[in-house]
């Protein structure tokens, strides 16, 4: 799907030959004198179009436009959230096998956030998962034009910069969705490693590399916590190391660590059977790192980035780790495993220790880590944990620009009290209270040698119910964050 940004008013948009034209109308829009402008003005006057964003108004082969289908929809004040909601509702009226070329026209000048929101909404609304379907109905849209009257964002930044960033972000989100949506038997650790290798190969650049470590290499490194989680499955673990070198070799890299549990049964501390199928989404952190690297292949910013993905299944057999077992992490810290369903932190702690060798400028881990974070923040904001104010602010700012919001959570030292163990250096759980915070406190023990942040995406990485599927979050935040740290051209 190709995107194209143009500076056009409604009169010009009406002349676009396309399968559907979506017109986004804000409060108080000043319409021109073209027939389409007149139609918008009359619809508002008659009360058939509510610019506050109620119901879209649609027409088929209207005489005012060359598009087969026309949809007018209000965007109220024109914020990114309002634009995204409006486009999603309008897309529901025009989706069909014949929809190949789409034009989205703003009736008034639009800022970058609104343009980006429109693109993401079109991509999200038209996304189709096909990998395991025998007769898939693939996405039909091949070309999307975004147009608005000349605006400050076009004049200052240029259409090309905006277009490249949003296209790369969408491509990254869709790769993340693809792998997160695949059933566990189609997204094993081995297949995930192959996806990483294929991504690097497709990039066709020596700036990108991929190394995959297997069980023997991981054992040699002393990753006892990671190995403990994997030992209950016949699928071999994989530790994926992605590298992008876009800056000088001496420049300290930013490291992204993604939790890659390709299926999580909970182990001996087994999960309830209801909705256990959704535990294929427990590798959404890993998928988001892959998605971010996909965006890097298109943007090639001047920065060095490392992606670390510890990947395995958390299953049950005669060799599976048991509650009460004590294992030794790569850092040499012993861990009492009180709950085998708190496995994400076990694979992440060894990956965080591995990150030390890169002498990173910052490390951000991304994980569907705790149900407690879902209780705390729901599906709106991801949880952000960091003891570093500067790093936390950078991630918060990136999330706002990306329209992929996060919320900073506390890390008071008192929260670590519950992690104390009589039989090891630390326990892997600390009871029910503040579960997302105590999980972050566990990870923090392995981050003393670098600036670190943790994103808990358990509530935002996928949707349940009729719209079940991965969201592609937090790829937008990670792309913005990484690019904000790149050197100036």
* Residues marked as catalytic: 271, 345
Q: Encoding tokens for residue 376?
A: 């705390």
3-state secondary structure of 185: helix
How crowded is residue 247: how many other Cβ atoms within 10 Å of its Cβ? 18
The stretches of 276-343 forming alpha helices (DSSP H) are 284-299
Measuring CA to CA, how many Å separate 115 from each of 54, 135, 165, 171, 421?
20, 34, 11, 16, 52
> Please, is 81 exposed, middle or buried when counting C-beta atoms within 10 Å of its C-beta (0-12, 13-18, 19+)?
middle
The b/e string for 197-229 (b: 16+ C-beta within 10 A; e otherwise) is eebbeebeeebbebebbebeebeebbbbbbbbb
> Which residue in 97, 119, 109 sits closest to 22, CA to CA?
119
- CA 346 to centroid of chain Cα atoms: 22
Phi, psi for 427 (deg, rounded to 5): -95, 160
Q: Are 439 and 418 in contact (CB under 8 A)?
A: no
Q: Which DSSP state fits 100?
A: -
Partners of 470 in the beta sheet?
462
Pairing of strands 469-470, 462-463: antiparallel
Measure CA of the first residue to CA of the last residue in the chain; give whole Å: 28
Calculate ∠ Cα 42-17-74, nearest 5°.
35
Alpha helices in 65-205, H assignment, sequence order: 80-94, 112-126, 152-157, 159-181, 189-203
Residue 273: CB atoms within 10 Å: 8
Q: Which residues share a beta bridge with 309?
A: 240
């Amino acid at each position: 799907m190709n995107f194209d940004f143009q500076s056009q008013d409604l009169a010009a948009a009406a002349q676009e030959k396309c399968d559907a034209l979506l017109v986004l109308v804000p409060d108080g829009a000043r319409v021109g004198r073209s027939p389409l402008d007149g139609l918008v003005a009359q619809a508002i006057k008659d009360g058939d179009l509510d610019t506050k964003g109620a119901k879209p108004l649609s027409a088929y082969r209207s005489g005012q436009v060359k598009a087969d289908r026309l949809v007018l929809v209000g965007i109220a004040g024109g914020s990114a959230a309002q634009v995204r909601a409006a486009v999603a509702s309008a897309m529901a009226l025009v989706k069909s096998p014949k929809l190949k070329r789409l034009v989205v026209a703003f009736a008034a000048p639009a800022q970058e956030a609104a343009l980006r929101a429109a693109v993401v909404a079109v991509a999200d609304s038209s996304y189709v998962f096909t990998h395991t379907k025998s007769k898939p109905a693939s996405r039909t849209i091949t070309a999307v034009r975004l147009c608005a009257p000349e605006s400050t964002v076009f004049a200052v930044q240029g259409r090309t910069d905006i277009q490249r960033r949003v296209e790369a972000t969408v491509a990254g989100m869709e790769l993340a969705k693809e792998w997160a949506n695949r059933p566990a038997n189609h997204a094993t650790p081995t297949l995930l490693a192959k996806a990483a290798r294929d991504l690097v190969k497709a990039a066709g650049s020596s700036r990108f590399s991929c190394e995959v470590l297997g069980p023997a290499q991981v054992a040699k490194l002393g990753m006892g916590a990671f190995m403990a989680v994997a030992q209950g499955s016949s699928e071999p673990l994989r530790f994926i190391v992605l590298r992008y070198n876009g800056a000088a070799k001496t420049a300290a890299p930013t490291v992204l660590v993604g939790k890659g549990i390709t299926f999580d049964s909970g182990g001996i501390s087994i999960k309830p059977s209801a909705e256990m199928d959704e535990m294929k989404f427990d590798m959404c952190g890993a998928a988001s790192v892959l998605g971010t690297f996909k965006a890097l292949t298109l943007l090639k910013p001047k920065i060095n980035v490392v992606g670390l993905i510890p990947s395995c299944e958390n299953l049950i057999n005669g060799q599976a780790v048991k509650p009460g077992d004590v294992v030794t992490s790569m850092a040499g810290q012993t861990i009492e495993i009180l709950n085998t369903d708190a496995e994400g932190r076990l694979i992440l702690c060894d990956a965080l220790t591995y990150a030390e060798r890169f002498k990173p400028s910052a490390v951000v881990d991304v994980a569907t880590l705790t149900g407690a974070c879902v209780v705390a923040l729901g599906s709106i904001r991801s949880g952000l944990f960091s003891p570093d104010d500067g790093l936390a602010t950078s991630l918060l700012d990136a999330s706002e620009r990306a329209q992929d919001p996060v919320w900073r959570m506390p890390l008071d030292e008192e929260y670590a009290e519950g992690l104390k163990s009589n039989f090891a250096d630390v326990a892997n759980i600390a009871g029910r209270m503040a579960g997302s915070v105590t999980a972050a406190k566990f990870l923090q023990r392995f981050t003393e040698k670098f600036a670190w942040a943790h994103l808990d995406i358990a509530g935002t990485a996928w949707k349940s119910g009729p719209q079940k599927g991965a969201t592609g979050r937090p790829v937008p935040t990670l792309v913005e964050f990484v690019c904000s740290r790149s050197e100036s051209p």
